[in-house]
Structures are given as structure tokens and as C-alpha cells.
Amino acid sequence: MAFVLTVFVVVILVLFSWSADSLSRDEFPSDFVFGASTSAYQVEGAANEDGRKPSIWDTYSHAGNANMYKGDGDVACDGYHKYKEDVQLMANMGLDAYRFSISWSRLIPDGKGAINPKGLEYYNNLINELTSHGIQPHVTLHHWDLPQTLEDEYEGWISRNVVYDFTAYADVCFREFGDRVKYWTTLNEVNVFAMVGYGIGAAPPQRCSPFSLGNCSRGNSSTEPYLAAHHMLLAHASVARLYNKKYKGIQHGFIGLNLLTISFVPVTNTSGDIIATQGAQDFWMGWILNPLTFGDYPDIMKKNIGSRLPSFTKEESNLIRNSIDFLGINFYSTFSVNNHSKSLNMKDIDLIPDMDAEITMLPENDTSINTVLDSLKNDYGKFPIYIHENGHQTPHSSSLNDFSRIKSLHKYIGSIAKAIRSGSNIKGYFVWSFLDVFEIIGGYEESLGLYYTDFKDPNLKRQPKLSAKWYSNFLKNKPIDPKIIMKVESDASLL
């Protein structure tokens, strides 16, 4: 009895502390968008159906996911067949928007040439289903899933040929879907895709030097990350120019690009650590944002990397600069930065040693996203920002009573409200992810979804977690559901 009373008291204290730090949707502008995210390979499944051909992510997963975990996206959440059920869940939750990606190799199986009619039909159906329920479609054109045919033909993103093919693919998407889609993100996490996929080899297309973690059979970690990112920037700029010239006047949409942001904080207040922290920010975010804002890479990158860093022509610089209508950011982590005085004269060099700083991941905290938002505002201006991904990781086997995820959502959404009051031009927030999906960080072993996906069930049953109910109540401006309180009270392990 004493234990039960103690649990009850703790629950009341927790709930009281929340009410003292109340959070309401009314704190956000009326046009602020709340949504949830997924990506094609992680949710669709149907990998071998209706004309779809493999992407580099298929190849990476079927080769063993760099020996980090098991599984692939052949079935995933079967979103390809269950999209109507999923959109109904979104509508019931009260989502304003849904961020998803188009599988290039489903729409144009060989990466160029003929359009797959079944792929075209699927995305039209999905978009129509969303808009019929009043949910804005926010579409990403490339979420780490380049068609394998282009990788085989000319090694994908390390070839300038990809700029032309990506632009032609985007042209198809704008023409076919742009009457209903107003928010387009060209590429997801340009910086981390380039670094992890081409430097470390722990993501598709698993290219790296032999010394790297990915046990790669091909690649060069000292040059290819920079080359891939360079071509992604050129491809983005080409697509933005196409949209602005051919479609914007008719469709009135917006073009953005996405990167993974990290909050970097110095270990100490010494000048060395402070300078190293700025360098880490330049290498991680400035790598992409400096060209988009100023037309060139940060000076520290040009100094440390030298001739291994590609350069822009004057025409390319002008094309890239100011080519985004909005910036999409993904945020999960804070890293401490320590000055690292080692020499850059190493036999094998990639982005991390090029940065010349020692970085360490810190535990999750609720103020770190404000550090990123302040840095973006101060260094690059007040362009519109959509937080495309932010989520809380738990084991997939954990309880549906995901109190830790609710706590994380509460903290981060509250931090965004604070940032808006401080002048950040944030336009939307998307939870990663809508469902438990096939995660690049752990396959089916890790969970970030608002809805639990039962991967052992042939029907892949979706079940709402407490976080889904909390988010729904927040979106509908309702108080905490008494059922949630009762469930929290009944599960002492959550405390």
C-alpha cells in the first residue's frame, strides 16, 4: 500500500510540474504547421512490386547494413498498401501535414527515361488521400535512395551526371504532383548522407576508404564526401532554378533543402575550445549553408581540406546562393567540442579529422535545439525553417506507455515556442516518426514512432502509443487525457 501511495504521489508531482510549465498550441502562430514524418524506403515496402527497381538503400540493406543490424525495407510498414489506413490515423490525430519522400526508383525505375504508371498512380493516390483529409503533403525528392541503376552507370552522386538526371526526375514530380504539393524538399540530410554514406561507409551507398568503419569495397573517404555534397548542392540549385522558371508562377510552391543539425557546445570557455566549436559548426552546417547563403564554402574548410574540396564557378555560386525558400532541419543530438591540436598531415584524411576537433555526444537535453536555432538565425539570417525531424529513440520492444517520448515532445515543442518568441522564423514541426519504421540507425530494433508497428503481425497492425494520444490532444488544444494519466499511474516503470 505504501508503494502504491508513493507512486501516486510521484505521478501527481510530475503532472503538477507539467501544469506549472504548461504548453498550448495557442502559443504558436496560426499558420504554424504541426506534422509527422517518414520516408519511402523506411515505410512503403512493396520493394519488388508494380515495376519498382532497387535503390542504393535496397542494395545496402541486402548486403547486411554494414553489419550493424539485420533487416531490410522489402516489406517495412507496407505503407504502399496501407496508405489509406495511415492517412485516416493522421486525420484522427489532427495532423496539419505529413512529410514523406517519393521513391525515385518507384516513379522512374531506371533513374531516367520511362515513368512507371503504377508508381505515378500510387503517389497520386497518396497525395489525393492526404489533401481530401485536409493534410498538407510536404514532399522530399531524395531520402538516401538513389536508383541503383545510376550508381551502377556512373557512381551516382560522385558524378556530375547526376545533376541532370535529378533535375529531370524533379521535373516529372513538379509536373505530375505540383498542383497539390506546395512544399518540396530536394534532398534529405545532405551533410550526413555525404559524410556517412561516402566517408564512414555506414549508410548507403557504403563507399569509403578501407580504414573506415563501413568495411567498404570501394570509395575514397578523403575526397568523395566533399564531391557528393558538391554535386547535391548543384543538383538542388538546378532543381530550384527549374521550379522558379517553369512552375512557381503557376503552382505557387516553395523549394527547400534539408540538413541534419547538431548543437555544438565547447567543453570549456577557453579560446581554443570556442574556436574549435565554431569550426565544428562550419564543417557540419556551414558546409551546406555557406554556399546557400554566401555562394561558397567556409574559409576553414578551404584551409583544412585544400585541393580535395571542390570549388564553384562564379555561375555556379550565383545559382546556389539564395536558392532555398526554406530550410528543413533535422535535430536529435548535442555534441561537446574540444580543441584538437593534432597535425592535419595524415596519410588518410576524412571529414572528422579535417575538422581538427574532438567531438563527443552528450545526453539529450531540452535547451540544445535553441542553441542551433540561435546559431542559424545569427549566422545565416531569418529564412523560414521547418523542423522536419525530431524524435526520441526507445527499443522497439518497449511499452506503449512511452512516457519518456511524451516528456521529450513536451520539452522540444516548448523550446520551439521559446525560439519563436526570441525571433526565430520557424514555420513548422514534424515528429520523427509517424510510425515505427525501418530505421537507418537500427533497423527494426529501434523505435521512434508515435504509432507502434507490430512487425510480427502479418497485417502489420498499428497501435497508438501514449505519445500519439498526447500529441493529438496538444494539436486539438485539449488537456491531458485522463486515460493517459491513469495509464501512467498504473505503470510504475515509467517513473
Pairwise CA distance, residues 394 & 8, whole Å: 25
Give start and end residues of each alpha helix (H) in 94-223: 104-107, 117-132, 148-154, 161-177, 190-195
Pairwise CA distance, residues 133 & 368, whole Å: 35
151, 316, 358, 389: the active-site residue: 389
Pairwise CA distance, residues 26 & 311, whole Å: 46
Pairwise CA distance, residues 208 & 371, whole Å: 32
Let me know if 189 is a catalytic residue: yes
H or E segment to which residue 406 belongs: helix 403-421
Q: Are 434 and 39 in contact (CB under 8 A)?
A: no
Stated length of the chain: 495
Grid cell 555556379 is found at: 316
Look at strands 254-266 and 326-339 and give their pairing: parallel
189, 316, 358, 446: the active-site residue: 189
Radius of gyration of the chain (CA): 22
C-alpha cell at 467: 505519445
State the maximum Cα–Cα separation within the chain, in Å, rounded to a whole number.
75
β-sheet bridge partners, residue 362: 334
Q: How many CB atoms lie within 10 A of CB 7?
A: 17
Pairwise CA distance, residues 413 & 52, whole Å: 38
Q: Are 224 and 199 in contact (CB under 8 A)?
A: yes
Three-state DSSP class for residue 33: strand
Three-state DSSP class for residue 113: coil
Report the sign of the C-alpha dihedral through residues 223, 224, 227, 232, in that order: negative
Query: Cα 378 to chain center, whole Å?
Result: 23
Pairwise CA distance, residues 220 & 231, whole Å: 16
Pairwise CA distance, residues 48 & 74, whole Å: 7
Strands (E), 192-301: 254-266
Catalytic residue positions, numbered:
189, 389
